[in-house]
Structure 1
Amino acid sequence: MAYMVPETIPRSATAGERILFETLKDHLPSDYIVYYEPEIRGRRPDFVLIGPDLGLVILEVKDYTKGTLYQINHDEWLLRNTSGELVKTKSPLKQARDNARFLTDHLKKDRNLLQEAGTNLKFPYGYGTVFTRLKQEDFVRLNLYQVIEPSFVLCRDEIDPDEESFSPDILLEKIHGMFTVWHKRKDVLTHEDIQAIRFHLFPEVRISAEFKPPTQHQDQLLLSLHNIKTMDLHQENMAKQIGDKHRLIRGVAGSGKTLVLASRAKMLAKTEPDWKILVLCYGIPLSRSLKQMIERMMNEPDDLFDLINPAPSVNEKGSKIEVYNFHEWLRNSLRMKDTDIPALLEKASKNEAILPTYDAIMIDEGQDFEADWLKLLGCCLNPDTQSLLLVEDRAQTIFKRKSSLVQDIGLDFRGRSKVLSINYRNTAQIVQFAWDFYQEHSQLKKTVQEGSIEGVEIIPPQSTKRKGPEPIIKSFRNIGEEMNFVSKSITFLQQEKRIPLQDIAILYRVKNSHQISYIDEIKRSLESHELPYTWITENAESKRNFVRDEPTVKISTIDSAKGLDFRVVFIVNVESMPFPLEEVEEREVSLFYIGMTRALEWLFLTYSGESKFTQYLDAVNKRRSERPTSGAQLG
């Protein structure tokens, strides 16, 4: 069964396209990817097929009948439309060929996709036509094979399993035969090759890539891309459910939920340029990071070859995307506080309130949005589009939780919920460590159900195979010793592991107690070790001015770090958790889980006191000491 993007064909598709979609899905190999009407640099080929042993095939689909065809030749076809008028169009095979050349010329700009010492792609590519309402006997009777060779044609009886002569083997054989130039290939397309093809053809799936300066190569400039990173196919499918109205995505920490949301915002802005789009989250730092991510995506050229001679950056396309944290939006757009929402909802129910209208609303970290907030946003959503994307992770819930999405915003998400269960952010060691803690302490552990997407279940994470050091646990006699260790560790990681300061964060639960100012100790220690820092959560202004790539160590509360990630995370003063003044311990469990899953590679947990959580960490350290080999050590 092939992987389809999107996973379900839109309602606007023709009956013939639906048949072909389902047939390709059911009868092509599982490692094949099939795109339906992807938007590629202004063009929309009907189907794009990518397979390790196939290469790249473009299919043009036509629902022509015998009565449609009036006069045809190799270049142009004269067709009779439903009104009886004659319409001239390009030959379907020529359309498919032009699309294939357009795509492959674009891919040839990446030297890593070329044959060694050549200008041709290292994989075969082809094109063909599909006539969903004409059978092979019709082609013979009408002499159509004289205009399009049989090897470039699929007819109804070759794509419809309900037809007696249908054969999956023949279908696959014909698709493999749609090539004008055969390659003597020794190897199939690797995962990296397929990732590179997706990276170039579909800008919306890009995460990152490193590129070296272009070099002159046989009269053409070529990009040399390395460390290409794209969304996985599941994430891509989530982002590409455009025009599919409201949708709920539940995902574990580090599963790329924010990336999917940002990519969807870009695609909506591109496909619906007149739409007014609102993107919201709870925390100010996350809203700034999200805004920077969307702006970068909007300003990145679709063709990375344009990076050689970039045009001036004018973010006109992003002008209709508003990105705020919820309270900032409330203050700027409605001139009100959240305590005023109930009265406004009462007026709205009587059609006495004037509210802004958005064609699409996207909410990140939706588990932290209160019921009234969602009701208000539901009132601001264009009823004709109903394009609302709600992204959440129940294991990261830190504020009051709504009871029912149907009650809150009047939209039923049953059948419109999807799960992202693979953690891409953290190493396997961090994922397992954080999840073990959560299962040990959460009161919601009985609701953990593998693969469930309805109700209030927590989704257990599945880690990638990316390995790293075990989380480092250290206890000290006092906060001075604790922070001295943190600062020395940062210096070591910067100098010996070449980790930039902007990729390091120190997270804390509380900034002081009646006895000591923890934040002063953190700052004093960093200053004494000549480590520049940015205290993100010093005040509202510092939150609003947060710049992710500023070359400083970031200091933040744990809850303000939601949605962010760093290569190295220190959670200090762990003995302050669970916080004695917090009535709901479940919130503290979620906070600690959130803090730990901010770390991409290195996680340090330090403390100089005792609490329920430090007792758990002491027990972990004791078990480690009893093993033949202990956890990762600095140096």
Structure 2
Amino acid sequence: MAYMVPETIPRVATAGERMLFECLKNHLPSDYIVYYEPEIRGRRPDFVIIGPDLGLVVLEVKDYTGNTIYKINNDDWTLHKADGGMVTTKSPLKQARDNARLLVDQLKKDRNLLQENTSYLKFSYGYGTVFTRLKQEYFLKHNLYHVIEPQFVLCQDEIDSDEDGFSPEVLLEKIQGMFTVPNMRRYVLTNEDIQAIRFHLFPEVRISAEFTPPVRHQDQLLLSLHNIKTMDLHQENMAKQLGDKHRLIRGVAGSGKTLVLASRARLLAKAHPEWKILVLCYGIALSKSLKQMIEKMMNEPEDLFEMMNTLDSTSESKLEVYNFHEWLTQHLRMKDTEIPALLEKAGQKEAVFPMYDAILIDEGQDFEPDWLKLLSYCLNPNTQSLLLVEDRAQSIFKRKASLAQDIGLDFRGRSKILTINYRNTAQIVQFAWNFFQSHSPLQNKVQSGTIEGVEIIPPQSTKRRGPEPIIQRFRNIQEEMNFVSKSINFLNREKKIPYSDMAILYRVKNSHRISYIDEIKSSLAKHELPYTWVTENEKSKRSFLREDNKVKISTIDSAKGLDFRVVFIISVENMPFPLEERVEREVSLLYIGMTRALEWLFVTYSGDSIFTQYLDQVAGQKQPTKPREKELG
């Protein structure tokens, strides 16, 4: 999945540009950057692609149909206009070429990007055209390839993944071939080279938190919290102690925040069966799991003395559980990009909102300020029953405003802190927190005590102990995955841990050098280990099953809310991800990954980064408890 700038395509984009945007995003390597309509010296190329093994490619996109084209040659194209007239314009390939030369002239000003003692760039650059509504068959039938050579053209059936002949491999091959002078020994851009290119061409995205847009991570997943069932009573008591009106709960990873929210939802539904209650979170699968959890709680007795008097199921119709975007689509018929305009209307009292007597938000740290502001308009002012649950140490976004500014509600004196981590062993809690404190730019905000002003809460662990986290460096990804597969075999055979309780988490799916996901799958298959790639696509996320007795493969960010007895975080050298401008997000991601492990945590790598340097130091200070070496080879 390529790194897109901007992260989502603007609404004004054409249908063809949207198709290409999604295609490039989903099918180019993870270390490729794709810019949509960047402004460069007064011009706006449609797409600019930068890749370590690619160099730089500029794409010109046209949504022409067969009826649009009247007469063409190498220089000019005459087209039919919508009003019936004609217009003559520069050839799309020439447009792409001129934009590419503009970029190159700008980059040549930096001597560090030039070949030694020459005026030529040390990396390749190219350009091409994309016809989003014309297929290759049309180009062949009408001899269009005589005007634009095939190597400089992408047609609809080459970028539309719904087409039978679509191939990600062919797409990448075509883009890598859009050069007037093929370079058999192509220079591979270093991270410093890429940063220099970005600095010169795109000042608006220079490395600065000030210019970095919030990064929405993929759908979050939630597993059953069966491992802390013993804490149900404690968490439900916490829910009952919250009192009425708006409340904030901040808790550490593994503290059972979701159980508090579910218990609170059940309590409100039981106490106020006439209330309309809304439960929201960010991820699709998380919302489904939350709904199942709440429904199960509502059908269970509050205590042993009311076994025969459980909550009547008819009240379930008053309780809605959604992920935020699903709720936004179904109830307001809009996208999140339209929220600012709606809020402006709301300020002028020109908008109508669905009304809820209670709103409960899980993983609130991932909700943008405008989302919270919108929800404040949907909250019954007479009840003001809002519950916001969050852990800032797991935050992927950067909230700039305070909650009082976001929602208009002051949480001082109306908050609870959950500091005890019930999920992880003491060893894992300490290991993860030491890492977070050592690397997070927000470490000066780590406090304890009262809730006011607290951004990040240091965790306390239970007395449950286990093996030390296993830190292991390898020469390459093949050796790394061989160790992981043998460890899975050992833990399943000797420790009787089912495959369903093991997960392999990765940061990057592939790069121009390595397909990490292929290496993972190949090694597991070689050792005859059952597995499911949870984050393969949208369908796999929606059909995720916790108890299918298969090893789970997932990105780290999609594992938020998940927990397993055994977690392998592989290829940590890919963190901090070079294209991620905020180290804070990368620190939070690895912290999230570490705290998914209930008992066994393996952290492996075969390269270098500031994170692996830290891990090397930690590994040199202590000898972790490992499975028997003879069992792992």
Distance 2:444 2:242 in 1: 35
Map of 1:510 onto structure 2: 508
The residue correspondences of 1:470-619 to structure 2 (distance < 5 A) are 470-619=468-617
Map of 2:387 onto structure 1: 389
Distance 1:316 1:336 in 2: 30
C-alpha offsets along residues 150-203 of structure 1, whole Å, 9 cap, x if unaligned? xxxxxxxxxxxxxxxxxxxxxxxxxxxxxxxxxxxxxxxxxxxxxxxxxxxxxx
For residue 417 of structure 1, report the CA deviation from its aligned partner. Answer: 1.2
Distance 1:496 1:608 in 2: 27
Distance 1:538 1:304 in 2: 44
Among candidates 420, 445, 467, match of residue 465 of structure 2: 467
Distance 1:423 1:232 in 2: 16
For residue 434 of structure 1, report the CA deviation from its aligned partner. Answer: 0.4
One-letter code of the match for 1:453? I
One-letter code of the match for 1:617? L
Map of 2:282 onto structure 1: 282
Map of 1:631 onto structure 2: 624
Distance 1:488 1:314 in 2: 50
8 Å CA contact 2:298, 2:310 repeated in 1? no
Map of 1:263 onto structure 2: 263
One-letter code of the match for 1:634? P
Map of 2:365 onto structure 1: 367
8 Å CA contact 1:250, 1:392 repeated in 2? yes
For residue 447 of structure 1, report the CA deviation from its aligned partner. Answer: 1.5
Question: SS in structure 2 opposite 1:610?
Answer: coil
One-letter code of the match for 2:250? R
Distance 1:313 1:517 in 2: 51
Between 1 and 2, higher relative CO (CA 8 Å, sep ≥ 6) is seen in 2
Question: SS in structure 1 opposite 2:248?
Answer: strand
Distance 1:615 1:378 in 2: 45
8 Å CA contact 1:279, 1:363 repeated in 2? yes
Question: SS in structure 2 opposite 1:318?
Answer: helix
8 Å CA contact 1:243, 1:387 repeated in 2? no
Map of 1:324 onto structure 2: 322
CA distance 1:320–1:541, shift in 2 (3 Å): farther
Distance 2:317 2:406 in 1: 29
Q: TM-score, normalised by structure 2?
A: 0.61
Question: SS in structure 2 opposite 1:353?
Answer: coil
Map of 1:143 onto structure 2: none
Distance 1:612 1:228 in 2: 38
Map of 2:148 onto structure 1: none
One-letter code of the match for 1:393? D
Map of 2:125 onto structure 1: none
For residue 245 of structure 1, report the CA deviation from its aligned partner. Answer: 0.6
For residue 482 of structure 1, report the CA deviation from its aligned partner. Answer: 1.1
For residue 547 of structure 1, report the CA deviation from its aligned partner. Answer: 2.6
Map of 1:293 onto structure 2: 293
Distance 2:431 2:246 in 1: 34
Q: TM-score, normalised by structure 1?
A: 0.61
The residue correspondences of 1:21-100 to structure 2 (distance < 5 A) are none
One-letter code of the match for 1:375? K
One-letter code of the match for 1:336? M
One-letter code of the match for 1:433? F
CA distance 1:296–1:504, shift in 2 (3 Å): farther
Question: SS in structure 1 opposite 2:359?
Answer: strand
The residue correspondences of 1:74-223 to structure 2 (distance < 5 A) are none
C-alpha offsets along residues 212-249 of structure 1, whole Å, 9 cap, x if unaligned? xxxxxxxxxxxxxxx9723364x344311465110001
Identity %: 74
CA distance 1:419–1:607, shift in 2 (3 Å): same
CA distance 1:313–1:267, shift in 2 (3 Å): closer
8 Å CA contact 1:247, 1:416 repeated in 2? yes
For residue 268 of structure 1, report the CA deviation from its aligned partner. Answer: 1.2
Map of 2:378 onto structure 1: 380
For residue 408 of structure 1, report the CA deviation from its aligned partner. Answer: 0.6
* Alignment: residue pair count: 405
Map of 1:358 onto structure 2: 356
C-alpha offsets along residues 111-161 of structure 1, whole Å, 9 cap, x if unaligned? xxxxxxxxxxxxxxxxxxxxxxxxxxxxxxxxxxxxxxxxxxxxxxxxxxx
After TM superposition, the structure 1 stretch with the greater mean CA deviation from structure 2, 348-357 or 459-468, is: 348-357
C-alpha offsets along residues 469-494 of structure 1, whole Å, 9 cap, x if unaligned? 00011111111121121122112111
Distance 1:551 1:493 in 2: 14
C-alpha offsets along residues 53-100 of structure 1, whole Å, 9 cap, x if unaligned? xxxxxxxxxxxxxxxxxxxxxxxxxxxxxxxxxxxxxxxxxxxxxxxx
One-letter code of the match for 2:231? T
CA distance 1:534–1:244, shift in 2 (3 Å): same
Map of 2:29 onto structure 1: none
8 Å CA contact 2:447, 2:454 repeated in 1? no
Distance 2:233 2:304 in 1: 20
After TM superposition, the structure 1 stretch with the greater mean CA deviation from structure 2, 544-553 or 390-399, is: 544-553
Distance 2:569 2:584 in 1: 18
For residue 303 of structure 1, report the CA deviation from its aligned partner. Answer: 6.5
CA distance 1:414–1:228, shift in 2 (3 Å): closer
Distance 1:358 1:269 in 2: 12
Map of 1:438 onto structure 2: 436
8 Å CA contact 2:236, 2:264 repeated in 1? no
Distance 1:606 1:228 in 2: 31
C-alpha offsets along residues 374-429 of structure 1, whole Å, 9 cap, x if unaligned? 00111111111111000111111111214211111111101001110111110000
Map of 1:244 onto structure 2: 244
Question: SS in structure 2 opposite 1:389?
Answer: strand
Question: SS in structure 1 opposite 2:278?
Answer: strand
CA distance 1:353–1:541, shift in 2 (3 Å): farther
Distance 1:455 1:302 in 2: 35
Question: SS in structure 1 opposite 2:317?
Answer: coil
CA distance 1:299–1:359, shift in 2 (3 Å): same
Question: SS in structure 2 opposite 1:413?
Answer: coil
Map of 1:72 onto structure 2: none
CA distance 1:458–1:208, shift in 2 (3 Å): closer
One-letter code of the match for 2:491? L
For residue 340 of structure 1, report the CA deviation from its aligned partner. Answer: 0.7
Which sections of structure 1, spanning at least 5 residues, go unmatched? 1-205, 210-226, 625-629
CA RMSD, 1 decimal: 2.5
Map of 1:144 onto structure 2: none
8 Å CA contact 1:285, 1:561 repeated in 2? no
Map of 1:170 onto structure 2: none
Map of 2:232 onto structure 1: 231
For residue 317 of structure 1, report the CA deviation from its aligned partner. Answer: 3.9
8 Å CA contact 1:288, 1:547 repeated in 2? no
One-letter code of the match for 2:230? K
